[in-house]
Structure 1
Amino acid sequence: MHKVLVPNHSGVHRFACLALYRALLRQCSPSSGVPAALQQSEVKTLFRQRFRKYKKLQSPSQIANALTAGYEALDLLDRARKGGQHEAEKFNSIVARAKMLKEQQAAYQRELRELHPSDPVSPKQIRKEATRRFEEATSRKHPDSPGILERPRPTVSGQRRIPVLVNARGVPFLRIKKPQPKNLSGVIRSKLEKRWNRIVTRDRLAVELLFAKDEDQWDKLTDAAQRPSWAEGVKRALDDVYEKIRKSDKQNRELSEKMWNVVLEERALVRKERSGKKAPTQMS
Structure 2
Amino acid sequence: MPSFLIPARSSRHRTACFALYRSLLRQALRVPLPDDCTTTSPLGPANPIQTLIRNAFRRNKLDTSPRLVVSALKNGYRFLTLLSRAADASTPERASVLTFLRENQARVVAVKARREAENAARISTAPIEGRTPLITRISAAGEPPVYAPTGPPRPLSSFRSGVRKPPTLNATAGVPFLTLKKPQPRFLERVVRQRSRRRTERILKIMEMVVEGMGEAEAEDRWERMVGKMLAEKRRAEGGEGLRTKGVVVDQGSYKQSLQEAVSYSIDVTERERNDLVARGRAMWQIVLAEQEMALQEERERLAREGREGEEPQLRVWKRPVYARNRKGRKQERGGSPEQSQGPGVMKQT
TM-score by length of 1: 0.52
2:127 paired residue among 130, 134, 140: 140
Q: Is 1:180 paired with 2:180?
A: no
Classify 1:21/1:150 alpha carbon distance in 2 versus 1 (closer, same or farther; 3 Å): same
Letter of the aligned partner of 2:123 in structure 1? E
**Deviation, structure 1 residue 100:** 5.1
Paired position in structure 2 for 1:72? 81
Classify 1:62/1:179 alpha carbon distance in 2 versus 1 (closer, same or farther; 3 Å): same
Classify 1:175/1:134 alpha carbon distance in 2 versus 1 (closer, same or farther; 3 Å): farther
Letter of the aligned partner of 2:187 in structure 1? P
Hey, what's the Cα distance between the residues in 1 that align with 2:73 and 2:208? 59
Letter of the aligned partner of 1:204 in structure 2? M
User: What do residues 124-156 of structure 1 show as CA deviations (whole Å, max 9, x unaligned)?
Assistant: xxxxx99972513x4335464233333552524
Paired position in structure 2 for 1:162? 166
| Secondary structure of the corresponding residue to residue 169 of structure 2 | strand
Paired position in structure 1 for 2:242? none
Q: Is 1:39 paired with 2:48?
A: no
Hey, what's the Cα distance between the residues in 2 that align with 1:264 and 1:157? 19
Note if contact 1:164-1:175 (Cα within 8 Å) is conserved in structure 2: yes
**Deviation, structure 1 residue 165:** 1.5
Hey, what's the Cα distance between the residues in 1 that align with 2:70 and 2:265? 67
Structure whose residues are more often helix by fraction: 1
Note if contact 1:174-1:259 (Cα within 8 Å) is conserved in structure 2: yes
Paired position in structure 2 for 1:266? 291
Paired position in structure 1 for 2:175? 171
Identical aligned residues as a percent? 17
Classify 1:96/1:151 alpha carbon distance in 2 versus 1 (closer, same or farther; 3 Å): same
Paired position in structure 1 for 2:202? 197
Hey, what's the Cα distance between the residues in 2 that align with 1:139 and 1:93? 53
RMSD: 5.5
**Deviation, structure 1 residue 229:** 10
User: What do residues 162-210 of structure 1 show as CA deviations (whole Å, max 9, x unaligned)?
Assistant: 222221111112232321336x844762465256425523652465389
**Unpaired segments of 5 or more residues in structure 2?**
39-46, 61-66, 106-116, 136-148, 230-251, 309-350
Which stretch of the first structure deviates more once superposed, 189-198 or 37-46? 37-46
Hey, what's the Cα distance between the residues in 2 that align with 1:140 and 1:46? 43
**Deviation, structure 1 residue 262:** 1.9
Q: Is 1:211 paired with 2:218?
A: yes
**Unpaired segments of 5 or more residues in structure 1?**
78-86, 107-128, 223-227
User: What do residues 59-97 of structure 1 show as CA deviations (whole Å, max 9, x unaligned)?
Assistant: 9998687445323246x37xxxxxxxxx84356653234
Paired position in structure 1 for 2:20? 20
| Secondary structure of the corresponding residue to residue 176 of structure 2 | strand
Paired position in structure 2 for 1:114? none
Paired position in structure 1 for 2:249? none
Note if contact 1:38-1:91 (Cα within 8 Å) is conserved in structure 2: no
User: What do residues 12-54 of structure 1 show as CA deviations (whole Å, max 9, x unaligned)?
Assistant: 8x9666753442222344xxxx5xx93387595357568979x
Q: Is 1:99 paired with 2:98?
A: yes
Classify 1:254/1:97 alpha carbon distance in 2 versus 1 (closer, same or farther; 3 Å): closer
Note if contact 1:171-1:192 (Cα within 8 Å) is conserved in structure 2: no
1:227-242 residue pairs with structure 2 within 5 A?
237=261, 238=263, 241-242=266-267
| Secondary structure of the corresponding residue to residue 186 of structure 2 | coil
